[in-house]
């Protein structure tokens, strides 16, 4: 059974930075794609970023140039570095991992104050 556990969320002022982590149970090498999504109150979940097993990355336009995604196979952990945070980045951030099916973490709250 795959478990994904996010951490690193919190309260930060606009313009600040946070780094989210997503620790997986077992090797992340088995996942073709890992990603981050977010859901703000009253809104649908939206895509943030992804990274493939080959290291290719992709970002939503809303975070491009501000967020970076990386994965550390030795630590079985996915990261999301978030810089220049804006109040509109406030949401619950969840990580996902995909091989033949998609797995989700429980999420971590990020709150950006103006």
- Model pLDDT for residues 18-56, shown as the tens digit of each residue: 999 999 999 999 999 999 999 999 999 999 999 999 999
- Model pLDDT for residues 61-105, shown as the tens digit of each residue: 999 999 999 999 999 999 999 999 999 999 999 999 999 999 999
* Tokens (6 digits) for 77: 């952990």
pLDDT of residue 76: 97
pLDDT of residue 1: 84
**The dihedral formed by the CA atoms of 74, 72, 18 and 20, expressed in degrees to the nearest 10:** -80
What's the distance, CA 72 to chain centroid? 14
Residue 80 pairs with which residues in a beta bridge? 20, 69
């Amino acid at each position: 059974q795959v478990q994904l556990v996010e951490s690193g969320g919190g309260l930060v002022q606009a313009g600040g930075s946070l780094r989210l982590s997503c620790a997986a149970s077992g090797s992340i090498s088995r996942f073709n794609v890992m990603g981050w999504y977010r859901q703000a109150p009253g809104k649908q979940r939206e895509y943030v970023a992804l990274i493939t097993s080959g290291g290719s990355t992709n970002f939503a336009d809303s975070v491009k140039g501000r967020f970076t995604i990386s994965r550390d196979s030795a630590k079985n952990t996915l990261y999301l570095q978030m810089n220049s945070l804006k109040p509109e980045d406030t949401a619950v951030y969840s990580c996902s991992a995909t091989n033949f099916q998609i797995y989700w973490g429980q999420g971590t709250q990020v709150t950006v104050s103006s």
